Homo-oligomer: A and B are copies of this chain.
Amino acid sequence: MKKYDKLIKNAAGRLVPEELNGQKAIPYMGIGKYRPTGRKYAPLIATCADYPMDGNKIIPNLKDALIKSGLKDGMTISTHHHFRNGDLVAQQVFDIAAEMGVKNLIWFPSASFECHSTLIKYLEDGTIHHIEGSMNGALGRFTTEGNMTGIGVLRSHGGRYQAIQDGEVHIDIAVIAAPTADPFGNATGDRGPAACGLLGFALGDSEYADKVIVVTDNIIPFPCIPWQIQGNNVDYVVVLDQIGIPEKIVSGTTEITKSPDRLLLAEMTAQFCDEAGIIRDGFSFQAGAGGTSLSIGIYFAEILKKRGYKARFARGGSNKYLVKMLEEGLVEYILDGQTFDLEGVRSMRENANHLNTSPFTSYNYHGKGFFASLLDVVILGATEIDVNFNGNVVSHSDGYLLHGIGGWQNCLFSKCTIIPIPLFRDRIPVIIDEVTTLCGPGELIDVIVTERGIAINPLRTDLIEKMKGSSLPIKTIQELKEEAEKICGKPSKPKFGEEVVAAVKWVDGTVLDVVRRIEK
């Protein structure tokens, strides 16, 4: 954390620093307003003369691979989160670093999970200086309470790719856990004991890191296909006994909600999409893996079936419901960013129309377009929404940073972004005057669906027009906020210290907001 002498008010009205962990930072300038002028990060040119001609890059153990990769103080080490709460690799990397006495590392995961709370000891003893990635659960509490030496930097999945590509984050060593790999370093996530579907979150790491280590517990003869990670970018391969805990990688328990409240939200959302003309033959949608989102998918499927429509594509987080839609011909393509259950993994392996995508294809704002803006509708969650439609997904109203951004910011660029949320959770209003942490500008959030009414962003006059005469309870967001306050009372604000503990980047690398230390 850091107490800044000077903070700048950015285009969203948030006070942010112009420097983060010693690097220049640019305050958020508005959507599409910041124009990058530089060139992409240029990795060193390699030569095959330095690599084994027989293609065998296997190194006996991870420690040797890290030593050969030049592990030293201050380096940035990246890992991916496709193993979710079943990851066994990040821990080992920092165990080795700590054992070697290496200090001040930057951990650059594509996301963190509860299983990573064991790394807190390395944040305490100086092995890890700070995290650039999500700080979930215990790591988030640790950070929010001001215990991390550096400042946490939160990025969306697309923002992470952008930061790597643009050279904002230079990865010294990428450690890529791979469910299956060959000795050349070609790797896939769609098979093997730790199968997780795909490895897209590690793509940028493999392309731009100085050194790339593939770690697997399922080594097969060349060629490992599909080569989701290309061996031509890989320096070393390490074979371990186990790299992930299968049941924690894919839970297999993702189920549609049985809660009547959430089912209502799902039904209202689907009906809204239908009445607004969003569901049509050839449309496209993205819904997350939460119970409500899954249920919306089911409603979509029913409508498509009834009308004889087909969705052209769905973006996932794939799961058994989406796979069923694909296999029943209700969806032509699944463009998958991460598989959430074993059916998703199976389908990716078996169905040619179930495609593995990456933050590059889907989310990178500093590309020549991205898939995110092609979606007709995305369904997202939020911890808070304010009366200006601004959204928060990383912190709670008590001020604690507890979640990552994921693809949330990137998805906001869809043609219609709908957020179905309860009006309050545990008697704390979800729709409030001002979000605790700004993660997404209200201009990009189109519709809020609550059990007590639906608010359409006033900027979307087209949607307001279309929903005239609807039987759905269309209200203003102000009305929704007041209803919430009527029931729960005006929420009290948490007490923050002056120190900044984390920064939230926008999709273009600018600083959208900060998280402050909480006074316990």
User: Pick the contact of A36 from B45, B232, B233 — CB < 8 Å?
Assistant: B45
Which of B45, B52, B335 is the one whose CB lies under 8 Å from A40?
A: B45
The CA of A48 and the CA of B360, in the complex, are separated in Å by 12
Q: Are A45 and B366 in contact (CB under 8 A)?
A: yes
Q: At the interface, yes or no: A185 with Cβ under 8 Å from chain B? A: yes
Contact status A369-B508, CB under 8 Å: no
Q: Within A42-60, which residues are at the interface with B (CB < 8 Å)?
A: 42-55, 57
User: Please, how many residues of chain A have a CB less than 8 angstroms from a CB on the other chain?
Assistant: 63
Q: Are A53 and B373 in contact (CB under 8 A)?
A: yes
What chain B residues lie within 8 Å of A364 (beta carbons)? Answer: 232
Q: Say if the beta carbon of A218 comes within 8 Å of chain B.
A: no
Let me know if A48 and B369 touch, CB within 8 A: yes
Complex Cα spacing A32 to B46, Å: 12
A374-B222 in contact (CB<8A): yes
Known contacts A184-B369, A373-B53; A225 and B48 CB within 8 A of each other:
no
B223 with A355: CB separation less than 8 A: yes
A37 to B44 Cα, complex, angstroms: 7
What is the interface of chain A, defined by CB distance below 8 A to chain B? Answer: 32-33, 35-55, 57, 165-166, 184-185, 212, 221-223, 225, 227, 230-235, 282, 312-313, 333, 335, 352-353, 355, 360-361, 364-371, 373-374, 413, 415, 508
Contact assessment for B45 and A166 in the assembled complex, using a CB-CB cutoff below 8 Å? yes
**B54 adjacent to A45 (CB under 8 Å):** no
CB < 8 Å: which of B232, B335, B352, B373 contacts A48?
B373
**Complex Cα spacing A285 to B184, Å:** 17
Cβ distance A248 to chain B, nearest Cβ, rounded Å: 29
Alpha-carbon distance A108/B333, docked complex (angstroms): 36
Known: A45-B166, A221-B312, A333-B225. A51 touches B369 (CB 8 A): yes
Q: Which listed residue (B35, B57, B225, B353) contacts A47, Cβ 8 A?
A: B35
